[in-house]
Structure 1
Amino acid sequence: MWPDRRLIDLLKLEAPIVQAPMAGAHDQALAIAVAKGGGLGSLPCAMISADKAREQVQVFRQQVSAPVNLNYFCHTPVEADAASEARWKKRLGAYYTEHGVDPAAPINAANRAPFDEAMCALVEELKPEVVSFHFGLPAPALLKRVKAAGAVVLASATIVREAVWLEQNGADVIIAQGADGGGHRGMFLTDDIATQPGTMSLLPQVVDAVKLPVIAAGGIADGRGIAAAFALGASGVQIGTAYLRTPESTLGAPNRAALKAASDETTVITNVMTGRPARGVINRVMREVGPVSPDAPAFPHAATALGPLKAAAEKGGKTDFTNLWAGQAVHLGGELPATELTRKLAKDGLARMAAF
């Protein structure tokens, strides 16, 4: 019944719905629930160890017989710069004073690890059906090993030029990530935030430029968005924000409350939280320091100095320093269990298409 079955057939899914990997917002429980609903469950691996990733995959395999997607970052690591870190801490100094946090106390460094030899070996061991990459692709030798392990490779593009590059360099499926989507922008051939196109502008141009199946990502949260994406040539959709308030999400009560109260005017692209452009619900530090600040250290080091402030504010039930990534369709999210939501999304999308 789907007008384009390429993604369904390639990934052996019931419905062409990919649950977006959202580091820090969920674990295997959400991936399992989505898989039970017929979609592709995803596990974000950029902020966890190989042992933790192995454990999550094992739990997934025990509870559901379905493909799983392991997601990784492919950024080039940048060493922390002492001078930049000191300037950033000074910029945040008033917040440290307000919360009674000692700026001289040791801080755990922010962890956003790129795909490396250890994680590649894990992929070879676990043999996930799908591996997805953000910020480009890994080194050719690593990518060759991932594909040799049997994984279908998905990768994000934020402009047409990136989509073409991904096709030429080994991706099997392109994720067209519009500027209205939540989370880190997958930019890797550009750093110009101002020229990033929205999903419904980017999608048909990517479809025209590549021969691979294209997944639409950004601002899609219900059947109407799914039908629109397929009308513009998508083979599937990636949905993240709509799953954030499901019972399977690991977000706490203050974060869920902030999402429930959000509207189309509530999110912004910022570099303040991590040092790299990402869309999230506006919080105090984004509003007062950013949303884009030249003082923010390079990714992921901006998050280091925010760590103690985040912990202090969250003790009081506040999200002033919490990075709550979400897209512009955040208001469309609900609280259904993820399995039920996945089935509803597929059913509503098909119904909308049938009405065309």
Structure 2
Amino acid sequence: MQVSSWYRAVLVCMLCLPLQTLAADGDSAASDAEPVYGPRLEGFSYPHNVQFYRFKSQRQQLEMAYMDVAPQGEANGRTAVLLHGKNFCGATWEGTIEALTQRGYRVIAPDQIGFCKSSKPEHYQYSLHQLARNTHALLNQLDIERATIMGHSMGGMLATRYALMYPDTTEQLVLVDPIGLEDWKAKGVPYHTVDQWFESTRRTSAKGIRNYQKSTYYADEWQPRYDKWVQMQAGMYRGEGKFINAWSQAKTYEMIYTQPIVHEFNQLQVPTLLMIGDQDNTAIGKAFSPPEVQQQLGHYDQLGPEIASRIPHALLIQFPELGHSPQIQAPEEFHQALFRGLEELQEIDGQ
């Protein structure tokens, strides 16, 4: 494989850095007990077979990793497409994949370009529109005409964009603690350049990930089973892919900040299930915003009802004690609510 001049330069710079800089976050230099994963998450096992959709986009050949999981037992004729969040991968949906396939769904769980096991191009114009188009092309390749589109976190923004672009192929829309329920720029969050995001993101460590997830994803509670997802993310920053992962993450942070979706929820034409952990406090750029701005951000217990009221055919389910990742924090409670909500959506849609 030919190494780009940018990537070669990054490696040289990395070698020039003093050891204490590389290990400044406590575990950037991995110990024998800490997993090290490749630039495309090589070494981390997914719960199902990973396939690759190969296509050309923006004048380059790319690979989009995905899992295509058949229903267990009798099929119900429906397909669910699961879109991961920014700090997540297709594998993070493993519990939901199991629950859906047990109910007869075929499940497609892709890794978006720039994430996890998919291509991470050095030069790519990231947009929610482009990622939605990539996903739609994958579904066309798989001969899937209609599907339930389900997105978590950033995947919720993407799922919303997908449903706006392709309403005729979106059977139902499910948004699980989506980010983008507020316009951070309009609320006063200052702009961060891609270079600034890169500088902060390349210092990613397991300790930092764990602390953030505890306070945001799991409502200040922690269980050892969450560490799998911490190490999945942190492991990519310990190996040779540290810088290309940080670069991809930086560019997608900028995408999220500059492409708000909140002003278009009233345009959705499909039955929508909004599932909110009330303890969620996620807000892009909150950490470097003025204190008076921080106080206004990430109130999901208020944002959930507000956004649900704007969506023409919406059903809201709230989890008062859960955080940003209810499907991981309380999977049984979450999946029971999910299937109850999907059934109600069918009634709303007159199916």
Fold-level similarity (TM above 0.5): no
Taking structure 1 as the reference length, the TM-score comes to 0.32
